Amino acid sequence: MATIITMPRLSDTMTEGTVATWLKKVGDKISEGDILAEIETDKATMEFESFNEGTLLYIGIPEGETAPVDSLLAIIGNEGEDVSALIAGKATPATEEVKPAVAETVAAPEVKKEETTAPASLPKGVIVVTMPRLSDTMTEGTVATWLKKVGDKITEGDILAEIETDKATMEFESFNEGTLLYIGIEEGNTAPVDSLLAIIGPEGTDISGIGENYKTGGSPQAPIATEEAKAAPAEKTAEPIVQEASTDGQRILASPLAKKIASDKGIQLTQVKGSGENGRIVKSDIENFTPQTTAAPATATSAPAKTETVAAAKPFVPAGEVFTEEIKNSQMRKIIAKRLAESLFTAPHYNLVIEVTMDDAMKSRAIINSVPDTKVSFNDMVIKACALALKKHPKINSQWREDAIIINHHVNIGVAVAVEDGLVVPVLRFTDAMSLSQIGGNVRDLAGRAKNKKLLPTEMEGSTFTVSNLGMFGITEFNSIINQPNSAILSVGAIVEKPVVKNGQIVVGNTMMLSLACDHRTIDGATGAQFLQTLKQFIENPVTMLA
């Protein structure tokens, strides 16, 4: 029985894809997990694997050609099977992962059958809109503002809501038309990716029960559970565990590499929540997986002892006095905690500190800022010096992988910016090619939008080195945690006026402390020290940055 494979949606903004390379040809045997093709999206070229087994009977989109999402990509079935009817109806294939039982019919009946059975109990024309994944690290989102209300007419391209991710607040537009029939997540509430966000469909459609029965990452729960009870009773008990990582309620979707790593580590895939397309488990999900532990018994056993201690020495508590305050963790704070812990506990950190004389830099900055419409900060000068020093010491501009060290010959410097909920790192791409005034303008623009939560996810990705500056808060010296996957981060302290020795005389001078945190897997101590020496020369003699 033939199965239609359609052009997948591999990113939230993807509307069409280009087949870069076919890795299988017509007639090849296909196993579940085989990579069929490499597909170029609007963001990257990604491998697309098969979730079906059989023979590749037909290729609908040749290499190099572009087609909309859900276009007929390929057909897999039994060797020698006649698929002419399916090919003839390729202009209207349904948006499935087609179930084998459906593929036996000819094109027109197939579409009709899928419209009534694939969504389980959804009325005709009704579309379930789920919480989108708006950044690579997003696992849940908060609805900041609804721009539409129940009963409003929706057209394709309308902005439905503003959604707060772990990095920014972004507008979420509709890819469908109809009437907004239901809102599943109220303003201010947080829900996991793929949770029911809204329902759109024809005006007056009865959708009672859909919102209550909707299952994260899937479709209405009750009808599917009934079908599975009849068709696959052996898998019934496993379904509640895997529903977040499964697209059809009957099997777990995971990439071959993720399966191998899970097997090596002894991790049950049923316990892992997938972050890939349709809840597919990918490599990063396995690497970031932490088994859940139950702390209840320990708490229960320790509670009596705690009660006795308090009873023995009970402090005086004034009436109405409150000693604690609970603040709900924002998405940004959760991600910051996760990423920094991963960095500190996986990368062997060490720190190198150097003192830089800033007298000439202060004079140079005053001259530069005397030019009309020009404003350069000391931080801009440090960023420019870092970019030039990284070109001379490319090993600092690297990242660690298990099989190799990646040396980046482009310089993209991330600039740590403090915002209300924590910290974000917008990226200056090709910083080494920017002038001081360009760096200053870009940093001000990115920092301003970061504080207003208007940065795009792409503006916070791809850094090769990071600069963190607390000098404006009077901090003279500090050590930072490396911003993975970078190999180093520079901590910039305040400029301090103090007695210094010059030519054997004690004079008043201005100095600044720089601390470089390095990943010892990629950067040896001597390499880091040489980088700091070069950086010191550039900052102390700004004219050399023009050479």
Calpha distance 535→382 (Å, rounded):
8
Calpha distance 411→405 (Å, rounded):
16
Both structure tokens of 526: 């001597």
Return the amino acid letter for 216. T
Strand, helix or coil at 284?
Answer: helix
Calpha distance 41→49 (Å, rounded):
15
Both structure tokens of 159: 């902005």
Question: Is 520 an annotated catalytic residue?
Answer: yes
Pairing outcome for strands 45-49 and 398-400:
unpaired
Calpha distance 160→306 (Å, rounded):
50
Catalytic residue among 136, 359, 421, 520: 520
Q: Is the dihedral of CA 99, 103, 105, 108 positive or negative?
A: positive
Using an 8 Å Cβ cutoff, are 259 and 231 in contact?
Answer: no
Measured between its terminal Cα atoms, the distance across the chain in Å is: 69
Backbone angles phi, psi at 362, to 5 degrees: -65, -40
Cβ neighbours of residue 525 under 8 Å, at least 6 residues apart? 350, 352, 518
Using an 8 Å Cβ cutoff, are 487 and 523 in contact?
Answer: yes
Using an 8 Å Cβ cutoff, are 285 and 258 in contact?
Answer: yes
Pairing outcome for strands 488-502 and 465-469:
parallel
Catalytic residue among 28, 152, 206, 524: 524
Question: Is 524 an annotated catalytic residue?
Answer: yes
Pick from 293, 243, 289, 298: nearest CA to 266: 289
Question: The tokens 């360009």 sit on which residue?
Answer: 438
CB-CB neighbours of 483 under 10 Å: 22
DSSP-derived secondary structure letter, 237: G
Calpha distance 201→176 (Å, rounded):
9
CB-CB neighbours of 403 under 10 Å: 4
Cβ neighbours of residue 244 under 8 Å, at least 6 residues apart? 192, 194, 216, 217, 273, 274, 279
Cβ neighbours of residue 386 under 8 Å, at least 6 residues apart? 413, 431, 465, 467, 490, 535
Calpha distance 194→270 (Å, rounded):
18
Calpha distance 139→193 (Å, rounded):
6
Which residues are marked as active site?
520, 524
